[in-house]
Every structure is written in structure tokens, then in C-alpha cells.
Amino acid sequence: MMSNDWLSADQLTTEPKQLNMTTLNFRSNSTLVELAKLTKENKVFNQPYIKETTTQKGFYLVKDEGIYLMNAFDTRSGNNNWVIYARGYNPNTLDRDLVWEKAHYVSADDFAEFIPLSSKAIDFLIDGGDIKVKLTDEDITVTCFKK
């Protein structure tokens, strides 16, 4: 007698895909306030990895040695980019190896994502609001809040 190695449809089960989720906190400081002010003033914003622009205001979310928000607008020649690190992801003030491991857990690859912001969110940041970014394998959720 031959055995049936095939499973019937009622024997098949699939586990729901577990999504990795990371929450990044960006606390208000003078750099974030200035970044928000300059974002409000600028009219053209670059898209990462492509030579296209948008009039939608926003920041870049960048992961390399650390994880940070950065201006998506061009700075005037000679000016540096505006950068604010997520809490716990600044390799300049924390143990570089630890920051690298934490950032690597978020993503093995470096990335830059354009994070669109409404005028209301930008004004909120100018007034001292914080930003929380939740990342999963499929979504990015941005929340501005004040303690």
C-alpha cells in the first residue's frame, strides 16, 4: 500500500508573517526646530536615489552609521546638512559599535526615505514638538507630539 505524502487543504496552516517593528524617537531641540523652519521656507525637495524633486515638504529618514532625520532640500553651497539623530542612534555621542548593531537590527542595508510632512506637523515641530517614527518591513508611520 502506498502512503499519501500530500496534505489536504485542511491540514495546511500558515503562520502570519511577523513584522519587525522599531520605534525611533526624535526629541525637540534647536536643530530640529531650525530644520522645521528651513523646511517650511523651502519650496523644492529632493527624492532619495533618483533625480526627481517634489513640492511636498518633508525630511529624509536616513540609516547609515546611525539613524537620523535630515533636510531633503538643497543647502546653500558651503552650508552643512541639518541632522538630528534618533534617541539612542547617535554614533558621535554613544558607543559606535553599539549604535551600529542597533541600526543594523533596524535594517542590514543603509537607506534614505523621504518622509512627507504636513504644514501643521511642521508648525508643531517649530513650536517644540517631538517626532516618533514607527518602522515595519512594510510601513513607516510618523507621529508628532508634545509631552
Instruction: Look at residue 136 and tell me if it is in a domain.
Output: no
Instruction: Look at residue 1 and tell me if it is in a domain.
Output: no
Instruction: Look at residue 134 and tell me if it is in a domain.
Output: no
Instruction: Look at residue 7 and tell me if it is in a domain.
Output: no
Q: Is 5's pLDDT higher than 60?
A: no
Instruction: Look at residue 51 and tell me if it is in a domain.
Output: yes
21's CB contacts (< 8 A; 6+ apart) are 134, 135, 136
Q: Is 19's pLDDT higher than 80?
A: no
Q: What is the pLDDT of residues 72-91, one digit of tens each?
A: 998 765 567 899 999 999 99
What SS3 class is residue 88? coil
Measured in whole angstroms, the distance separating CA 142 from the mean position of its chain's CA atoms is: 8
Mean per-residue pLDDT, 133-144: 91
CA-based nearest residue to 39, from 116, 143, 135: 116
Tell me which of 75 and 133 has the higher pLDDT: 133
| Residue with grid cell 552609521, as numbered in its chain | 65
Q: What is the pLDDT of residues 90-129, one digit of tens each?
A: 999 999 999 999 999 999 999 999 999 999 999 999 999 9
**Domain span holding position 35:** 30-127
Instruction: Look at residue 21 and tell me if it is in a domain.
Output: no
**Mean of pLDDT over the chain:** 86
pLDDT above 90 covers what percent of the chain?
A: 71
Residue 121, all three cell numbers: 506637523
State the Cα–Cα distance between residues 131 and 60, nearest whole angstrom.
Answer: 13
Instruction: Look at residue 145 and tell me if it is in a domain.
Output: no
| Residue with grid cell 536616513, as numbered in its chain | 62
Q: Using 50, 70 and 90 to split pLDDT, how confident is the model at 12?
A: very low
State the Cα–Cα distance between residues 5 and 33, nearest whole angstrom.
Answer: 64
Residue 44, all three cell numbers: 523644492
Q: What is the pLDDT of residues 28-41, one digit of tens each?
A: 999 999 999 999 99
Instruction: Look at residue 133 and tell me if it is in a domain.
Output: no
Structural domains in the chain (count): 1
